[in-house]
Amino acid sequence: MKESPTELMLKGYGLTTAEFYYRMPDYNHVLNAFIWQEYDLAPDYPELFRFIEFWQRDIEGELHSVRFSHRKMIGAGDWQNVVQEFTLH
């Protein structure tokens, strides 16, 4: 079962966004862009590198460059378990 984004963030994952620039074999003079997002662990970025390996192995478009950013949304200390809720009027 796949973990929810909240569970991943509590385990230290952050949202990684990568912008891939690539060229297709038939149109080598055209530079294309592809955006990829996934929850990943810094500083090793296993999901990002797994995707890059997939791209190089299975996609014909030759990679020109990759730009990425990583943002931790919450950490374990930022989250509180609320066990009760009150409604007023």
pLDDT for the residue 77: 60
Q: Is 59 inside any structural domain? A: yes
Q: How many domains does the chain have?
A: 1
Q: Is 14 inside any structural domain? A: yes
pLDDT digits (tens, 9 = 90+) for 23-79: 998 998 999 999 999 999 999 999 999 999 999 999 999 999 999 999 887 655 665
Q: Is 30 inside any structural domain? A: yes
Q: Is 52 inside any structural domain? A: yes
pTM of the full predicted structure?
0.77
- 3-class SS letters over the chain: CCCCHHHHHHCCCEEEEEEEEEEECCEEEEEEEEEEEEEECCCCCHHHHHHHHHHHHHCCCEEEEEEEEEECCCCHHHCCCCCCCCCCC
Residues 76, 22 contacting (CB under 8 angstroms): no
pLDDT for the residue 48: 96
Residue 19 belongs to what domain range? 5-73
Q: Is 19 inside any structural domain? A: yes
Q: Is 27 inside any structural domain? A: yes
Q: Is 58 inside any structural domain? A: yes
Give the confidence band of 6 by pLDDT, cuts at 50, 70, 90: confident
Q: Is 81 inside any structural domain? A: no
